[in-house]
Amino acid sequence: MITRDAAAFSELFRQTPTDFGPATARAVFLIAPDGFALAEQSAQDNTYMADAAAFDPVRASQQHRDLHRALSAQVPAICFAGRQDTPDALFPNNVYGTTAGCAIVGRMRHEVRRREAARDDIRGFFRDVLGYEEVALDAQTHPCELTGSLVIDRARGLGFCGLSERCDEDGARLMHAAFGLRATLLFDLAPGEYHTNVVLAVLAGRAVVACPKGFAEPSVAETIAALYAPHAVLCSEAEHAAFVGNCIAVSDDVAWMSAGAGRALAPAHRRVLEDAGFRVETVELDAIEAAGGSLRCCVSEIF
């Protein structure tokens, strides 16, 4: 089922068991911020990006290494080298996604990001090393920026897809099929928002973090939050701006977010996550956040 009917989706959600697959990934991969700089094409529809003068490649590289080290304490974490002609490549989850035995390559809106999908080393890693079947969506014309646009409850096989210039309805349908989902809820993101995973996170199928101001209809965020209540965080505007919604669980017991997001997280909201069984861990990523994304954007999951 693919629907805009939040009530119908909610009814299906309540009937759906948590037997679709593992709630968290068995490994993750990252791409180093080599060539880190302002990508002018991406800046056209990413209002979170800073001016070019704010980009600090050395600091970004150090912080990315800290993130790699932190995640590797919980799951196998692979880091591919970046390239000078792909300044946004440190956000690989928009381009590459996986299900069990399958690697999905997305269609990026901007040409500067479509270069990332052409990497033979990454595609070869999934094909030749892991033996994954490839589902290539990059050659068709509809933007579908994978787990940037599509937030997935992996335990239930349910998707939450925010539409913007980075993902249209046809792209959402392609992703729904590629990830083999049981159902996907479609909704419009608010003007100025580019990716769903900046304003919504599902943590190990048990908790949700949502930023109502990031939705064209904030009531949709409230409806999604109600599905996971009482383990639901509805972010304030300050939390939203600090990337609290751009968090991830790569294990059953830790919610990862940037240090800036951790500082903005309200004590009551931290308790909500703790009550859901998550301790909050953070990594300083202010240099990386200048590029308009935060911790979750840096992490591509391997299921």
Q: Which CATH number belongs to the domain containing residue 93 in this structure?
A: 3.75.10.10
Q: Which structural domain range is residue 120 located in?
A: 2-302
* Pick from 129, 62, 53, 119: nearest CA to 86: 119
Residue 183: pLDDT over 80: yes
Residue 188: pLDDT over 70: yes
* Pick from 37, 139, 126, 161: nearest CA to 90: 37
For residue 42, the model assigns a pLDDT of 59
pTM for the model stands at: 0.94
For residue 35, the model assigns a pLDDT of 80
* pLDDT level of residue 48 (50, 70, 90 thresholds): confident
pLDDT tens readout for residues 226-254: 999 999 999 999 999 999 999 999 999 99
Strands 207-210 vs 200-203: parallel, antiparallel or unpaired = antiparallel
Residue 292: pLDDT over 90: no
Q: Are 277 and 53 in contact (CB under 8 A)?
A: no
For residue 122, the model assigns a pLDDT of 97
Between 57 and 168, whose confidence is greater?
168
For the chain, give the percent of residues with pLDDT over 90.
Answer: 87
For residue 163, the model assigns a pLDDT of 98
Residue 44: pLDDT over 80: no
* pLDDT level of residue 112 (50, 70, 90 thresholds): confident
Q: Are 260 and 289 in contact (CB under 8 A)?
A: yes
Q: Are 96 and 272 in contact (CB under 8 A)?
A: no
Separation of alpha carbons 26 and 31, rounded Å: 18
* pLDDT level of residue 255 (50, 70, 90 thresholds): very high
Strands (E), the chain: 2-3, 27-31, 77-80, 96-99, 102-105, 133-136, 150-153, 158-163, 183-188, 200-203, 207-210, 232-234, 254-258, 279-283, 300-302
Average pLDDT, the chain: 94
For the chain, give the percent of residues with pLDDT over 70.
Answer: 95
Residue 38: pLDDT over 80: no
Between 153 and 35, whose confidence is greater?
153
Give the chain's domain count. 1
For residue 111, the model assigns a pLDDT of 87
Listing from the earlier edge strand, what are the strands of the sheet with 2-3? Answer: 2-3, 183-188, 158-163, 150-153
Separation of alpha carbons 226 and 22, rounded Å: 23
Of the candidate ranges 24-38, 206-220, 269-283, the one whose mean pLDDT is the lowest: 24-38
